[in-house]
Amino acid sequence: MIEIGIIGGAGYTAGELIRLMIHHPKVKIKSVVSRSHTGKLIHLVHQDLLGEIENMKFSIDLKQNIDIVFLCSGHGKSRKELNNIPDNIKVIDLSQDFRIKNQSVFKNRNFIYGLPELQKKIIEKSNNIANPGCFATAILLAILPLAKKKLLKKNIHISAITGSTGSGIKNSDTNHFSWRNNNISTYKIFKHQHLQEIEEIIYKVQKNFSEKIYFIPYRGNFSRGIIATLYTYSIISLEKNIEIYKEYYKNHPFVEISDINIDVKQVVNTNKCILHILKEKNKLIIISIIDNLIKGASGQAIQNMNLLFNLDETCGLKLKSVRF
């Protein structure tokens, strides 16, 4: 069994990680650290776990003899946590602290960008993974096949909307119910923090691409999920583009290409990304949907863990969407 620890155990991401891990056939949860809830029963904070993890409490520190730690403490806190984690323990960081190349090294640890559909073989040989951002996951999976074939020629325009859980569990002016309900807004236009990792990956995959990537994020009035729509110039036929996408993802079990229009409920509670591709004159349009808490965070972290420990990457992640 893989013995795991989780640090920052009270948030949405950690809650989903625990929910999925307790049913993973190869995993045992040894400790869940929360300094704000130390000593409290986990199911009193993550109330959906009532009856699933009855007697386990949040601890103040990790227990000994674990194989891997998941860092869920939030952005800017991971380096401090790593000071207390022995070098021989594998780490998957779910913050943005190590995703960018010039920030990916900490002491003896070199963090690999953990998008399996980009570099599965490299991940398998690594010990430290920087889990991608949720917007970045949805958007990169929509662009990568084009970049790999050197087919990006002009600017990429993206709009994407995320559920309120993307803002984290702590209350703020823009994520409480009375503000989100029947409401929608843009934020961080062209400046969202995930844009930096998107640009770095795309410019690395297609080195001759130097055009701009424009990203407009939206806050949605629903709890979970992301739908991203992007378009860019293409003179290749729709049929050929679809063929390129299907070929790229043929060995990646969590990405599906849909022939018909898609909606967020198809992926909620799953580790899937579903893409729908269409064309209007010389504009190729790609629609991408994921669950921001699973494929965009905890599920992808488990997918990476499976690769690190030479398991089938779908292990513990064969999840059915909540359609209604």
What span, in angstroms and rounded, lies between the C-alpha atoms of 275 and 143? Answer: 10
Helix, strand, coil percentages (3-state) for the chain, rounded to 5, are 30, 25, 45
Report in angstroms the alpha-carbon separations of 224 from 12, 32, 162, 264.
11, 24, 7, 9
What is the pLDDT at residue 174?
Answer: 65
Looking at residue 168, its pLDDT comes to 55
pLDDT at 167 over 60: no
> Which of these, 203, 193, 68, lies nearest to 129 by C-alpha position?
68
Assess contact for 227 and 289: CB atoms under 8 A.
yes
Bigger pLDDT: 323 or 4? Answer: 4
| Per-residue pLDDT at 176 | 64
User: Of 71, 68, 2, whose CA–CA distance to 34 is shortest?
Assistant: 71
Confidence of residue 161 (pLDDT cuts 50, 70, 90): very high
Q: Which residue has the higher pLDDT, 183 or 268?
A: 268
Nearest Cα neighbor of 130 from 96, 167, 105, 168 is 96
In the prediction, which pLDDT does 23 show?
93
- What are the tens digits of pLDDT across the range 221-259? 988 999 999 999 999 999 999 999 999 999 999 999 999
Query: Once rounded to an integer, what is the mean pLDDT over residues 174-185?
Result: 75
Tell me what pLDDT residue 54 has.
77
So what's the pLDDT on residue 170?
A: 57
What is the amino acid identity at position 273?
Answer: C
Q: What is the pLDDT of residues 279-303, one digit of tens each?
A: 999 999 999 999 999 999 999 999 9
CB 279 within 8 A of CB 287: no
User: Are 5 and 32 in contact, with CB atoms under 8 Å apart?
Assistant: yes
Lowest mean pLDDT across 29-43, 132-146, 284-298: 29-43
Domains and their CATH numbers in the chain: 2-132+295-308 (3.40.50.720), 134-293 (3.30.360.10)
Residue with the two structure tokens 């967020």: 264
pLDDT of residue 182: 83
Torsion of CA 82, 84, 88, 92, to 10 degrees: -30
> What three-state secondary structure class fits 28?
strand
Catalytic residue among 72, 134, 273, 315: 134
At residue 283's C-alpha, the angle toward residues 148 and 247, to 5°, is 35
Q: How much of the chain exceeds pLDDT 70, in percent?
A: 96
Q: pTM for the complete prediction?
A: 0.94
Helix (H, G, I), strand (E, B) or coil at 138: helix
State the average pLDDT over residues 83-94: 94
Give me 114's structure tokens: 């953990």
Tokens of 164: 């309120």
Q: Among 54-63, 105-114, 122-131, 177-186, whose mean pLDDT is lowest?
A: 177-186
Residue 273 designated active-site: no
Element (H, E) at 82: helix 78-82
Looking at residue 317, its pLDDT comes to 97
Kindly state the average pLDDT of the residues 78-95.
94
pLDDT of 11 above 70: yes
pLDDT value of position 172: 62
Instruction: Give me 135's structure tokens.
Output: 């917007």
